[in-house]
Amino acid sequence: MRTLLCTLLCFWQCTAQATNYFVQDKSCEAISPEIEISLSATLRDLDNHQRKRQNLRQKALNKYTAQYKQQHEQLYVEEHFTTQSSHSAETPTISRAKKKLHYLIKLTPSKNCNQQVAMTSELFISGMHKRSLSTTIEGNAMEVTLDINNAPKFTQFNNPLITPTNFFGLQLGSSYEQVLATLGLASLSLSDKNNAILVYGRNHAFHFKNNVFIGYQFHEMLLPMVINNELSLANEKLQISTGTEQTISLDTNLTQQAINKLKNSFDEIETASYKVSIDKSEQRVVGISHGEIIKNIENTTQCYNGSMLADEYLKKHESSKTLKVVNEDHDNIIITPCYEFIYEGNGYISKLKLVEPFSTANIKLAALAGYINQSKQWSLTGINYNDPVSNLAKLGDYDEFFDSAEFTSEHWDGYFYIYDGKLLSAELTSNDY
C-alpha cells in the first residue's frame, strides 16, 4: 500500500510540474526574464530539414532543463530558423552543398497563458505550431488532438440541395457573414473592394456584391486543374430540384423534357453527353448558374518575385490578397498575378510554388480566368520562366537530373522542373522561418 501511495504521489508531482509551451499567445504574462538559446546543425541533403529542426528543438529544451534547475509550468516561446549556405556568388557550383541550420529560441517563464493552445514538449518539438490546422499525433505513449488556431473546418454539405430559391440552405440576399456561418471555410476566395466570390469544394461558387449574396454557380470545370490539385472536396452528392419535381443528381440521365424544365427554372443550365457504354450515351448536368454572376475582380495583389524576404512580403501585402486558396491541410495559399503560389502558415511563408503558365480557355469561373489572363510569367530574383537551367547558378547550387534540378540557396531549397534544358516550374521550401 505504501508503495502504491508513493507511486501515485510521484505521478501527481510529475504531472503538476510538466511544462506547457505557448506560441503567439498574447494572454501570457512574463514572470521572469526570457532565456535565449542558440544552436546549429549541418544540413547535408534536402530531405532532412524537418528532422533537423525537431532535433534542434529537442536539444534546446534539454539545454534549458539542464541549465535552469527551476522548471516552469508555462513557457512562452519565440523561435527562428535561418540557413547559411556554403554557396558563393563569385564561384557558383553545380553540386550538393553543405549548409548550416541556425536555431534561436527565446523561452519566457509566464503565467495566465491560454490553456486551450497549450502544447506539451512532444507537440512543440514536432513543429505543429508551424501549421494552422487540427492534427492528431500518435506516439509511443500518447495520442493528442491539437487545434492551435481553432481553425474553421470545411463543410461537407449536410444539405446538398439546390433549387431556384435555395442553395444549401441559403437564399439570394443572404449576407456574406451568413454564408460563412452556414457553410464554413471556403476553399477559394476572390475579392476586391466591392465584389467577392467564395468557392466551396471545387465546383460551387457564391457571388457577392457589397457583402450580399447575389448569385450561385456550379460547374464541373469551375477551376483550373492546378488549383483543383490543392483541393480534396467533391460534389458527388449534389441534388438539384426545380422546387416541384423529384430531385435529380449529377449522374442522372436527363430526358429533353427534364432539361427543358431545368432551363425554365434556372438562369443557365449546361449539359454534356457521357459515354456509359460502347453504344450508349447519357445527358447529364455539368453546369448551373442562377442570379448575378461576377465577371471581373480588380487585382490588388503584388507579385513576390523574390524582391524581399518572403515574410517581409507577407507583412507588407497583408491586406492585398485578391486570390486566396485554403487546401485540405488548411495551408493558406496566396496566388499572385505572376503564377506564384505562396503557402502561408501561422504568419510565415513555408513554401513557394512557381507554376508554368496555363490556358484559361476551360475555366468557367470568369472572374478567375480574367485574373489569370492578366498574369505575367514568374520570376525569382532575376531567374525567369523558360530560362536555361544553368542560370540557377546565379542564386545557389543545383544538381541537374533528367527533368528536374535539385536546388539549394540561402533562402530556398527544393526543385525546379525543366524541359529541354529550360526552367518550367518549381516547388521551394523557405529557410527563413
Q: What band does 383 get if pLDDT is binned at 50, 70 and 90?
A: very high
Q: What is the DSSP string of 289-347?
A: EEE---------PPP-TTSS-HHHHHHHTTT--SEEEE-TT--EEEEETTTEEEEEETT
6 or 292: whose pLDDT is higher? 292
How would you classify the pairing of strands 74-85 and 268-277?
A: unpaired
Cα 151 from chain centroid (whole Å): 12
Predicted confidence (pLDDT) at residue 155 exceeds the cutoff of 90? no
Residue 106 lies in a domain: yes
The reported pLDDT for the residue numbered 151 is 44
The reported pLDDT for the residue numbered 302 is 87
Predicted confidence (pLDDT) at residue 41 exceeds the cutoff of 50? yes
209-263 pLDDT, tens digit per residue, is 999 999 999 999 999 999 988 886 555 567 888 876 678 888 888 889 989 999 9
Predicted confidence (pLDDT) at residue 117 exceeds the cutoff of 90? no
Which of 259, 291, 323 is a domain's end point? 291
Residue 298 lies in a domain: no
CA distance 122 to 343: 25
Residue 196 lies in a domain: yes
* Shared domain check, 341 and 279: no
How large is the average pLDDT for residues 273-277? Answer: 85
* Shared domain check, 246 and 190: yes
208-224 pLDDT, tens digit per residue, is 999 999 999 999 999 99
Residue 367 lies in a domain: yes
The reported pLDDT for the residue numbered 14 is 42
Name every residue whose Cβ is closer than 8 Å to that of residue 166 and which is 6 or more positions away in sequence: none
* Shared domain check, 249 and 182: yes
71-107 pLDDT, tens digit per residue, is 788 999 988 877 665 544 444 444 444 567 788 899 9
CA distance 68 to 23: 21
* Shared domain check, 169 and 102: no
Q: What band does 174 get if pLDDT is binned at 50, 70 and 90?
A: very high
Predicted confidence (pLDDT) at residue 4 exceeds the cutoff of 60? no
Which of 147, 182, 211 is a domain's end point? 147
352, containing H or E segment: strand 348-354
CA distance 369 to 359: 9
Q: What band does 412 get if pLDDT is binned at 50, 70 and 90?
A: confident
* Shared domain check, 331 and 282: no
Cα 381 from chain centroid (whole Å): 24
CA distance 328 to 153: 10
pTM over 0.75: no
Residue 416 lies in a domain: yes
How large is the average pLDDT for residues 393-409? Answer: 89
Q: What band does 9 get if pLDDT is binned at 50, 70 and 90?
A: very low
Average pLDDT, the chain: 81
* Shared domain check, 140 and 115: yes
* Shared domain check, 167 and 130: no
Range of the domain at 22: 18-147
**How far apart, in Å, are the Cα atoms of 144 and each of 25, 50, 120, 139?**
20, 20, 10, 9
Residue 398 lies in a domain: yes
349: helix, strand or coil: strand
Q: What is the DSSP string of 263-293?
A: HHHSSEEEEEEEEEETTEEEEEEEEEEEE--
Residue 72 lies in a domain: yes
CA distance 355 to 367: 19
Residue 323 dihedral angles phi and psi, to the nearest 5°:
-120, 120
The reported pLDDT for the residue numbered 204 is 93
What are 33's three cell numbers? 526574464
Predicted confidence (pLDDT) at residue 384 exceeds the cutoff of 90? yes
Of 148, 232, 154, 197, the closest CA to residue 366 belongs to 197
Q: What band does 15 get if pLDDT is binned at 50, 70 and 90?
A: very low
What are 124's three cell numbers? 512543440
How large is the average pLDDT for residues 105-133? Answer: 79
Which range of 141-150, 274-283, 332-341, 403-412 scores highest in mean pLDDT? It is 332-341
* Shared domain check, 404 and 328: yes
The reported pLDDT for the residue numbered 141 is 29
303, 355 in Cβ contact below 8 A?
no
Residue 155 lies in a domain: no
Predicted confidence (pLDDT) at residue 324 exceeds the cutoff of 50? yes
* Shared domain check, 392 and 335: yes
* Shared domain check, 320 and 259: no
* Shared domain check, 166 and 139: no
* Shared domain check, 143 and 170: no
**How many domains does the chain divide into?**
3
